[in-house]
Structures are given as C-alpha cells and as structure tokens.
Amino acid sequence: MWIGISFALAAGLMWGLVFVAPVMLADYPPLMLTIGRYLAFGLIALPLGWADSRQLRLLSRFDWLQALRLSLIGNFLYYLLLSSAIQMAGAPLPTVIIGTLPVVIAICANLRSHTPLPWPKLLPSLGLIALGIGCVNQDELRQLLQANSGSDAAALRSYGLGALLALGAVACWTWYPIRNADWLQAHPEASPRVWATAQGLMTLPVAMLGLGLLYLSQTLGWPLLGADFQLPLGPRALDYIGLMLAVGLFSSWLGTLCWNEASQRLPTSLVGQLIVFESLAALAYAFMLRGQWPSLLTIAGIALLLAGVIWALRDGASRRPAN
C-alpha cells in the first residue's frame, strides 16, 4: 500500500509540471501545446516500445483500442481543455478545480461499488472542498479584476470560460483513472511500464494528425492558430522544444508509469483520491513561477481543500474500498 502511495506521490509531482507549461509558453496556443506534448510523448515511446516489443505483441486488438481511447480522452482532450483553461483564467483556478478530482472520482467509484459508502458521509468532504474553491476563486477573481480594471466584462468572461473548460478537464480525468485502473486490475500480469508505453505509442498518430491539420488549415487560409503564428515551432523554438520534451518525458511517460504502478497496487476509490498530490504540486509550482506567496485567503482555500480530501480518505479507510 505504501509503495502504491509513493508512486502516486511521484506521479503527482511530475503531473504538476503540466500546469505551469501554458504559463511559461503563454504566447503558444493551447492546441500547439497539446500537440507538442503528445508528439514528444509518442516519440519518446518509440524506442521504449522497441525494447518492450515482445510484451507489446501480447496485447490484443481490444487492448490497443482501449489504449487509444485512454490517450484521446485522458491525455489529448484533457490537456487541451486544461491548457486552454490556464491561459484564460490563470493557473490557480484550474488547479483548484482539478483539485476536486479526488472527491469526484470517489463519488463515481462509490456509484459503481457493490458496497457503497452512505452518501451522508460524503457531504462533509464535499462541503469543505466547495468552500475551498470559493475562497481561492474569490481571491483570484479580485486580483484578475484589479489587473484588468479597464475591461472588467472581458476579464469576467475569460475567467468564467476558463472555469468551464477546467470542469471539462475534470470530466475527462474522472473517466481516465477509473478505466485505466479497470484495465490494469483486469490484467495483473501486465507491466505498468509497457501499458504506459502503449498509451504513448497511441498518442503519436493522433498528434501527427493534429499537426497535419494545422498545416492544412494554414494552407487553405483558415489558420487554427491565428494568422501570425509561425509553424512548425512558433516564436520561441528552443524553449518550446525543451519544455515539450521535458513534459513529454516526465509528465507523460514517467508520470503515467508511476500512476499505473499505483493503480495496480491500490483500489480505484483510494488511488483516485491521491490525485490531490497533483493539485498541491501544481499550486506550489504556479506560485513559485509567480515569485510570490499565496494570500491568506488562498492558503485558507487550500487548507479547506486538503481538509475535505483528508475527510474523504478517512471515510474511505474506515471500510474496505471497492474498485
């Protein structure tokens, strides 16, 4: 169990990096960030797939289709929504909305369980998390309006749309860990490393197709990234390549590997709640990038979020968790 929790912590620390990439490359559209990340993930997976070719050949057609679905929804669509939300609303708000995943996944796992936890026991944790989101949102919204005092309506629209996109990312990543854990627990003989590589290999054709569509749209005069954006690498080519390779290696392949290791050792209802490590890492990275400490109201919101997750973990630990 503790090995599984350690792997979940390592995955969270690496996944937190994906929240700061859209801030560091703010002049790159979210679609370009998504394609770059998963193109790097797929290219990194190629030599790894060659090394594990014998085990990869044991995967059935259904297994490869499942890897494709997981890659499309849990990787490509999730990061497209998340990076768009971060660029529209700033990093802390989407980070805290994603921070609700532990409880959201616990609720979904509870709905699928044959021995569910009584719903009244979940209400305290849900209430604490709602209060935490309210505190962080109020502080972030106040700072956003102060920075955009001349265009409050536009700032509010951007902030609201960013929140909606972050909710879409929550939906994607509620589905992903449950389905990923289902496959791993149905195949206890499978290597988590090989399954991470299989998902990386399935992202490569999707990313290449996306890059081809970008070139086609630009050729036809309907540029998806804006008329001023220069393909293939944009205005800061070296920064873009370096950051995409780092995110592709650490956040995509290695993060997925660690998460697969945790998912194979822990029940879904528990491992889903450990996604809180990702949110905490992302918040820490975001404020480090800003070069400032969070305000007292934001700290209070983070504390309420943690309290809600701890409450949920306590209730989950008091019974035999169900997958």
- Taking the domains of the chain in order of start, what are their residue ranges? 2-317
Least confident of 165-179, 262-276, 287-301: 262-276
What pLDDT score was predicted for residue 302?
A: 83
The predicted-structure confidence for 183-232, as pLDDT tens digits, reads as follows 988 888 888 889 999 999 999 998 999 888 888 887 777 766 766 778 77
Distance of CA 77 to the CA centre of its chain: 10
> At residue 272, what is the residue type?
G
Contact between 127 and 308 (Cβ < 8 Å): yes
- 222 or 64, which is more confident: 64
Mean of the pLDDT values across residues 29-55? Answer: 90
Residue 181: band (very low, low, confident or very high) from pLDDT cuts 50, 70, 90: confident
pLDDT of residue 321: 44
Separation of alpha carbons 240 and 231, rounded Å: 12
Q: What is residue 322's predicted lDDT score, i.e. its pLDDT?
A: 43
- pLDDT tens string 85-104: 888 887 777 877 887 787 78
The mean per-residue pLDDT over the stretch 79-90 comes to 85
* Mean pLDDT (whole number) for 135-148: 68
Contact between residue 190 and residue 184 where contact means Cβ atoms under 8 Å apart: yes
Question: What is the 3 state secondary structure string of the chain?
Answer: CHHHHHHHHHHHHHHHHHHCHHHHCCCCCHHHHHHHHHHHHHHHHHHHHHHCHHHHCCCCHHHHHHHHHHHHHHHHHHHHHHHHHHHHHCCHHHHHHHCCHHHHHHHHHHHHCCCCCCHHHCHHHHHHHHHHHHHHHHHHHHHHHHHCCCCHHHHHHHHHHHHHHHHHHHHHHHHHHHHHHHHHHHCCCCCHHHHHHHHHHHHHHHHHHHHHHHHHHHHCCCCCCCCCCCCCCCCCHHHHHHHHHHHHHHHHHHHHHHHHHHHHHCCHHHHHHHHHHHHHHHHHHHHHHHCCCCCHHHHHHHHHHHHHHHHHHHHHHCCCCCC
Query: How far, CA to CA in Å, does 32 sit from each of 73, 207, 236, 304?
Result: 17, 10, 12, 35
Q: Please give the pLDDT value at position 59.
A: 92
State the pLDDT at residue 164: 92
Amino acid at 41: F
- Environment class of residue 63 by beta-carbon count within 10 Å: exposed (0-12), middle (13-18) or buried (19+)? middle
Q: What is the mean pLDDT of the chain?
A: 82
Record the tokens describing residue 102, joined without a space.
């532990």
Q: pLDDT category, 175, cuts 50, 70, 90?
A: very high
Q: Which pLDDT band holds residue 121 (cuts at 50, 70, 90)?
A: confident
pLDDT at 269: 66
The residue whose two tokens read 């994906």 is 18
pLDDT at 216: 84
CA distance 21 to 294: 19
How confident is the model at residue 40, as a pLDDT? 92
Most confident of 41-50, 104-113, 148-157: 41-50
- Which residue type, as a one-letter code, is found at position 131? L
Q: How many residues does the chain have?
A: 323
Q: Which two tokens stand for residue 142?
A: 């106040």
The CA distance from 72 to 75, in Å, is: 6
